[in-house]
Chains A and B, each alone.
Chain A
Amino acid sequence: MRKTLMVVFAAMIAWPLGASVIAHHSFDAEFDRNKPVTLKGAVTKVEWGNPHIWIFIDVTETGGKVSNWGVEGGAPNALFREGWRKDSVKLGDILTVEGYSARDGSLRANAVRVTLPDGRRVFAGSAAGSSGGNR
């Protein structure tokens, strides 16, 4: 099934934040640095709670099946100070999320970069970046 998802597993070197991800061992407890993933879909839910925000998006597979992915973002306190709010993205917004898949193969990933269709980045602080969370 995974092969049919609109998921692109890209080479890590293509990712500017890859190095910072590698620098965080606790990241390895949950995610797999060897499984970079790009997801695109409409926002269905935003959870604004510690230690990390979570964004849920519906990703349409090539066969038409829709899978609801959850992606982990930064710590809400740090994001708040950077000016982000829970409603910085709206339900239905189309997001492209670049990140890394969970080790356990579930529909979970961490978000290194979240981008709107016009190229604007949102929730810039990622789980693997400076915005921390419980890492």
Chain B
Amino acid sequence: MKTLALLVAVLLVQVPARTPVTPPDFKGPALRLPNGKPSMAGVWKNTRRADVTDPSIPGFVKELRYTAWGKSKWDNYASFMQTNGDYAGNCLPFGMSRSLYGPHPVQIMQDNDHVALLFEQNSMFHVIPTDGRAFTADLPRSWFGESVGHWEGDTLVVETVNLNGYTRVDTIGHPLSARARITQTFRRVNFGTIEHTFTLTDPKTYTSPWTLSDTWPLTPNVTLMEYACMENNRAFTEGRIKLFVPPDDVD
């Protein structure tokens, strides 16, 4: 009996006390980096925009003014996909806007000199230097392009160029070209909120720049999951979506 009592006593002593979990104050101050700038770190509920002109989603674009080239690309998207394939259906990179405005969450990691956007969509990432460097000369064009960031006060401004022009702005297929320039601003207004803007300047496609405005709530209980896009892509492997042939007129 004494032995049992001793065992129980030992067990009681060895059980670690539970540390009470204090929920974060979402209205509290934004996190700060070691250099004093706001940190955008966190998993965010990014705005889903299948169509950037959808008026039911706040911050939408009221009007897209196309060039003749842009109008042609918009009008012929369905037939283009039948001849050249759907790049998203090929599990190719979605590009910045379709990754940001897709149905899957985004995590941001950041230090003094870099911001990393981790997209669950296709398990893609995009690293943005914020150390003052310039764009890389002669870098081959790419799906996400090349980005550099700088600070304007507590607002992080990210410029992106060198896009390959193969992606679309959104699921519905609004076009962009390789001449597009994306300007984003990120402002962590408090612990639980980022205000984000996305501006597209693309004189080949649109006669004037346009801007989306978003508010992203922090979602600390969401963990990004692996997204191996081609593991069960029957649409492609069974031939219903054709192999993507890049357009040759996006420069």
Residue in A closest to B232 when the chains form the complex, CB atoms? A49
**Would A132 and B104 count as touching, CB distance under 8 A?**
yes
Q: List 29 A-B contacts (CB under 8 A).
A: A23-B54, A23-B171, A24-B171, A25-B78, A25-B81, A25-B171, A25-B172, A25-B173, A26-B89, A26-B171, A29-B241, A49-B231, A50-B233, A51-B227, A51-B232, A51-B233, A52-B232, A52-B233, A78-B103, A104-B239, A104-B240, A106-B238, A106-B240, A108-B240, A131-B103, A134-B88, A134-B91, A135-B89, A135-B171
The answer, yes or no, to whether B51 is at the interface (CB within 8 Å) is: yes
**How far is it, in angstroms, between the C-alpha of A103 and the C-alpha of B89 when the chains are bound?**
15
**Would A77 and B240 count as touching, CB distance under 8 A?**
no
Give the size range of A's interface with the partner.
20 to 34
**Would B89 and A72 count as touching, CB distance under 8 A?**
no
- Among A23, A51, A75, A80, contact of B172 (Cβ-Cβ < 8 Å): A23
**B217-235 near A? 1/0 per residue, CB < 8 Å:** 0000010010111111111
Which positions in B face A, CB cutoff 8 Å?
Answer: 48, 50-51, 54, 77-78, 81-82, 85-86, 88-89, 91, 102-104, 120-122, 171-173, 222, 225, 227-235, 238-241
Which positions in A face B, CB cutoff 8 Å?
Answer: 23-26, 28-30, 47, 49-54, 70, 72, 75, 77-78, 80-81, 102-104, 106, 108, 130-132, 134-135
**How far is it, in angstroms, between the C-alpha of A22 and the C-alpha of B102 when the chains are bound?**
17
Query: In the complex, what residues of B have CB within 8 A of residue A102's CB?
Result: 240
Query: In the complex, what residues of A have CB within 8 A of residue B86's CB?
Result: 26, 29-30
A28-B81, A77-B225, A77-B227 known; A50+B51 contact, CB < 8 A:
no
**How far is it, in angstroms, between the C-alpha of A49 and the C-alpha of B234 when the chains are bound?**
10
Residue in A closest to B224 when the chains form the complex, CB atoms? A77
**Would B171 and A134 count as touching, CB distance under 8 A?**
no
- Among A29, A52, A131, contact of B85 (Cβ-Cβ < 8 Å): A29
**Would A25 and B77 count as touching, CB distance under 8 A?**
yes
Query: In the complex, what residues of B have CB within 8 A of residue A131's CB?
Result: 103
Query: In the complex, what residues of A have CB within 8 A of residue B81's CB?
Result: 25-26, 28-29
**Would A130 and B103 count as touching, CB distance under 8 A?**
yes
**Would B104 and A54 count as touching, CB distance under 8 A?**
no
- Among A28, A77, A108, contact of B238 (Cβ-Cβ < 8 Å): A108
**Would B171 and A80 count as touching, CB distance under 8 A?**
no
**Would A134 and B229 count as touching, CB distance under 8 A?**
yes
Query: In the complex, what residues of B have CB within 8 A of residue A81's CB?
Result: 222
A25-B171, A26-B86, A50-B228 known; A134+B233 contact, CB < 8 A:
yes
**Would B89 and A50 count as touching, CB distance under 8 A?**
no
Which of B82, B172, B232, B235 has the most A CB atoms < 10 Å from its CB?
B235
8 closest A-B pairs by beta carbon, nearest first, are A49-B232, A132-B103, A29-B86, A25-B173, A29-B81, A77-B225, A30-B240, A49-B231
**Would B234 and A54 count as touching, CB distance under 8 A?**
yes
A28-B81, A29-B82, A30-B89 known; A50+B120 contact, CB < 8 A:
no
Query: In the complex, what residues of B have CB within 8 A of residue A24's CB?
Result: 50, 171-172
